[in-house]
Amino acid sequence: MEWLNYFIIINLIGISTNLDNTGVGIAYGMKYFRIPFWFNGIINLIGFFYTIVGALFGSVILQFISAKETGLISCCILCCLGIFTIYNGSFGFIFGEHKSEVKIQQPRIQHAIILGFSLSLTNIVGGLGAAVAYKSIIWLMIISITIWGYITIWIGNIIGNTIFAKVLGKYSFLVAGLMFIIIGLKQLF
Q: Which ranges of 63-108 does DSSP label H, i.e. alpha helix?
A: 67-94
Give CA–CA dist 102/111, Å, rounded.
Answer: 10
Give CA–CA dist 101/147, Å, rounded.
Answer: 23
Stated pTM of the model:
0.67
On the CB side of 171, how many CA atoms lie within 13 Å of its CA?
Answer: 7
List pLDDT tens digits, range 72-124.
Answer: 776 787 788 778 777 876 665 554 454 444 444 566 788 788 878 777 766 77
Please report, as a single letter, which amino acid is at residue 94. Answer: I
44 and 150 Cβ atoms separated by less than 8 Å: yes
Residue 107 φ/ψ, nearest 5 degrees? -65, 130
